[in-house]
Amino acid sequence: MLVMQYISLVVAGIAIILALFLFRLLQKKQQHILTLIQALEGKRQSTDRAHQKLDEMLHEVRTGAIGIGSKLKAVEAELKALKQQQIELSNKQADLAHQEVSSPMYTRAAKLVASGASIDDIMEECDLPRAEAELLISLHRK
């Protein structure tokens, strides 16, 4: 019976040692897990800061794109207006060129120049200023 008690005490001692060993091992594992959790928390905070910075940059890009879009619309409108003005001016120029060619006054003046009339005759018959009569003579004689 004494042997049984002795064996019981040895088994109980081994169980206590084993329990202490397991408890210490569990403490180390918990400490390691806590270290990992802290490291992950630091990474999460760093990621959150990077995410916030990227959000701010994206906001700036969006704001810039909206501004550029508005300016582009304004430039397109101005370009459209300028094209319309160009068309109108081209039409007016064509009309003026057609009027000059078909104007009876200038046609008559050209005929007078071709026949050798003087500046005074051209001015009088076609009711032209001297500068225009001189211009017609210099254009048609060359």
Mean pLDDT in runs of 10 for the chain (142 residues)?
88 93 94 95 95 95 90 93 92 73 74 88 88 86 66
Count helices and strands (H / E) in the chain.
Answer: 4, 0
DSSP conformation class of 115: T
Q: Radius of gyration over alpha carbons of the chain, in Å?
A: 52
Q: How far is CA 65 from CA 59, 68, 80, 142, in A?
A: 10, 5, 22, 60
Are 123 and 112 contacting, i.e. CB atoms less than 8 angstroms apart?
A: no
Residue 117 per-residue DSSP state? -
Contacts of 124 (CB under 8 A, 6+ apart): none
Say if residues 128 and 103 touch (Cβ distance below 8 Å).
no
Whole-structure pTM value: 0.43
Output the pLDDT for position 139: 83
Reduced to 3 DSSP states, what percent helix, strand and coil does the chain have, rounded to the nearest 5? 95, 0, 5
